[in-house]
Amino acid sequence: MTNNHRVVNILVVGVGGQGVMTASEVLCETAISQGFDAKKTEVAGMAQRGGVVSSHVRFGPKVLSPGIACGEADILVAFEAAEAMRWCHYLRPGGIAMVNRLHLVPPVVSLGLFPYPPDPVEEIRKQGIRVHDFDGSAIALELGDKRLVNTVMMGAISESLPFTPELLKERIVKRFRIRKPALADLNGQAFDRGRAAAR
């Protein structure tokens, strides 16, 4: 867990349809429920067409701005491997990159504007960054729904936050009990699997 007396900076990145914005909302809601000031900002671009999506989440005793400065993120949560590589320079020294190994080729690659890196995770490690990588998408598919990847990734970072994993899990499950009751227990399982995978 991080220090309760400073602002925690979490950068969540991925592509449209992976639940980046939902994950950032849940993080903010949980932080606020524990008395933290919390702010977030997001860039969706072509999210509905599989374009890149990013969200800055900041919480602590007092947060003045939602934007994370380059080199100040404590945690990079990447739902897609190349997006992890693209944003890893935002991590502070000693920050953690939690990376889903999934490779999704974005439109900019399909259009021939940029090449897709052969091994994004290895490129991040070469920069001396601490990386926890695992196949979160495979876990989600094992549980029956690829959209569970955002809950898997929330479980993965849950032990690096200034509140307990149980609180974050409870917030996620409660959210689904209200909106999609049939998926509540499944999201609880996804959270537990992500938490175990990160270890």
| Overall average pLDDT of the 120-141 stretch | 96
What pTM was computed for the model? 0.91
3-state secondary structure of 9: strand
Largest CA distance in the chain: 47
120/141 Cα distance (integer angstroms): 22
DSSP 61: S
The mean-pLDDT minimum among 108-117, 122-131, 183-192 falls in: 108-117
pLDDT-derived band at 16, boundaries 50, 70, 90: confident
Q: Taking all residues of the chain, what is their mean pLDDT, rounded to a whole number?
A: 91
**Which CATH architecture is the domain 8-198 placed in?**
3-Layer(aba) Sandwich (3.40)
186 pLDDT more than 90:
yes
Per DSSP, the residues of 23-46 read HHHHHHHHHHHTT-EEEEEEE-TT
Q: 170: which residues sit within 8 A by CB, 6+ positions away? A: none
Angle between helices 20-33 and 165-179 (to 10 degrees): 120
Domain ranges of the chain: 8-198
| Overall average pLDDT of the 172-186 stretch | 92
Q: 3: which residues sit within 8 A by CB, 6+ positions away? A: 162
| Overall average pLDDT of the 120-148 stretch | 96
Nearest to 92 by CA among 68, 61, 67: 68
Angle between helices 149-157 and 20-33 (to 10 degrees): 40
34 pLDDT more than 80:
yes
Task: Write down the pLDDT at residue 112.
Answer: 82
pLDDT-derived band at 47, boundaries 50, 70, 90: very low
How does pLDDT run across 50-71, given as a tens digit for each residue? Answer: 678 899 999 999 999 999 999 9
Task: Write down the pLDDT at residue 105.
Answer: 78
- Of residues 77 and 16, more confidence is placed in 77
How does pLDDT run across 74-84, given as a tens digit for each residue? Answer: 999 999 999 99
107 pLDDT more than 80:
no
